[in-house]
C-alpha cells in the first residue's frame, strides 16, 4: 500500500483511535457492525467528536476562529477529496463514497456554531438544535447502512432521527451540570441550575416516545447494521432508565454513567436477543 491509499489508511486509524478514546459505548456498538461498515462510522464519529471538542473544551483558545477554520477545511476536504487533517480526510472519503448530502453537514456545523453563542432555547429552537447536533448524524450513518438504497433510506429516515433525538436528550440530562456551568439550558422552560421532578418527567415522556419510534426503525435496518445500532440503543436506554431513577437534585451534582461491567452484561443480552430475532 502506497501513496493516497496509505494516507487514507493512516487517516482512518486516527478516526478509530479518536472514537475509542472518547466513547466506549459507541466503540462497542461500532464493533458490533459488520466489518465493512465500521470504518465509515468511525470516520463520521471522529468528525463529530472534533467539532464538539472545539465548542465544549478548548476554552483557552478562540473557539469561534477554530470552528470557522474547521468548517472551511471540511468543505474543502469534501470538494477536493483530500485533507491533510486525517480526521477530515477519512470523513470526506465517507461523505463522497456514500453520497452524504452537504445539507446534513452544514446543519450539524450550524448547531455547533450555536453552542458558541446561544445559551437558552425555546421549543422550536431546541428541535432545530437537536436536528443539527444529533438527528443529521443519524441520517449520515443511515446513508452508510443503506448503501445507496434510496427507498430504504426514506423509509427509515424518521426512525433514525428519533434515535438521534433520544440520544441527544439523554445526553442533555446526563450533562446538566457541565452545560449549566457554561450557562447553557437546552430544554425550554428550564431555569439555569434548576430541575424539578415535574420538568424532568415531561422530558422523560418525550424521550420514551423517541426510543419507541427508534426501535421500529432498528428492526428494519439491514442485518449488517442492525446489531451494532441495537447495542448503542440498549446502552442509551439503560442510561436513560438510570437517569429516570435518579433524583433531580443528584443529577445537578453529578454525571450519570453506566459501569463497564454493566455494559458487558448488556452486550451479552443484546447478542442473545439478536441471534434469536427477539429485537
Please give the domain boundaries of the chain with CATH numbers for all domains.
1-100 (1.10.600.10), 118-279 (1.10.600.10)
Question: What pLDDT sits at residue 108?
Answer: 98
Query: Cell for 248?
Result: 433531580
What is the CA 30 to chain-centroid distance, rounded?
12
Residue from 27, 33, 28, 66 nearest 45 by CA: 27
Question: What pLDDT sits at residue 243?
Answer: 93
Question: What pLDDT sits at residue 162?
Answer: 98
Question: What pLDDT sits at residue 230?
Answer: 96
Q: How far apart, in whole angstroms, are the C-alpha atoms of residue 159 and residue 90?
A: 26
Question: What pLDDT sits at residue 192?
Answer: 66
**Residues of the chain below pLDDT 70:** 192
Residue from 164, 160, 158 nearest 145 by CA: 160
Any residues with CB less than 8 A from the CB of 138 and at least 6 apart, and which?
A: 160, 161, 163, 164
E strand spans, the chain: none
Q: Pick left, alpha or beta for residue 207 (phi over 0 → left; psi -120 to 50 → alpha; otherwise beta).
A: alpha
Amino acid at each position: 500500500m502506497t501513496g493516497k491509499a496509505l494516507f487514507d489508511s493512516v487517516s482512518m486509524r486516527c478516526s478509530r483511535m479518536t472514537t475509542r478514546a472518547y466513547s466506549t459505548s459507541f466503540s462497542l456498538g461500532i464493533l458490533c457492525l459488520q466489518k465493512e461498515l465500521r470504518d465509515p462510522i468511525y470516520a463520521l464519529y471522529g468528525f463529530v467528536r472534533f467539532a464538539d471538542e472545539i465548542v465544549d473544551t478548548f476554552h483557552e483558545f478562540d473557539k469561534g476562529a477554530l470552528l470557522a477554520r474547521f468548517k472551511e477545511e471540511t468543505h474543502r476536504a469534501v470538494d477536493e477529496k483530500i485533507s491533510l487533517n486525517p480526521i477530515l480526510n477519512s470523513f470526506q472519503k465517507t461523505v463522497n463514497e456514500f453520497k452524504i448530502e452537504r445539507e446534513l453537514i452544514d446543519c450539524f456545523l450550524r448547531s455547533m456554531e450555536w453552542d458558541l453563542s446561544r445559551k437558552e432555547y425555546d421549543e422550536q429552537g431546541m428541535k432545530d438544535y437537536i436536528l443539527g447536533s444529533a438527528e443529521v448524524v443519524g441520517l449520515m450513518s443511515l446513508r452508510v447502512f443503506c448503501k445507496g438504497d434510496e427507498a430504504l433510506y426514506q423509509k427509515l429516515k424518521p426512525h433514525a432521527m428519533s434515535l438521534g433525538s433520544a440520544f441527544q436528550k439523554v445526553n442533555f440530562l446526563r450533562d446538566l451540570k457541565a452545560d449549566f456551568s457554561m450557562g447553557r439550558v437546552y430544554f425550554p422552560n428550564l431555569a439555569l441550575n434548576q430541575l424539578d421532578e415535574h420538568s424532568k418527567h415531561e422530558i422523560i415522556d418525550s424521550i420514551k416516545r423517541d426510543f419507541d419510534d427508534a426501535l421500529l426503525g432498528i428492526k428494519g435496518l439491514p442485518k449488517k447494521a442492525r446489531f451494532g445500532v441495537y447495542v448503542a440503543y440498549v446502552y442509551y436506554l439503560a442510561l436513560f432508565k438510570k437517569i429516570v431513577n435518579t433524583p433531580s437534585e443528584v443529577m445537578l451534582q453529578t454525571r450519570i454513567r453506566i459501569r463497564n461491567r454493566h455494559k458487558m452484561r448488556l452486550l451479552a443480552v443484546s447478542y442473545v436477543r439478536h441471534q434469536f430475532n427477539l429485537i
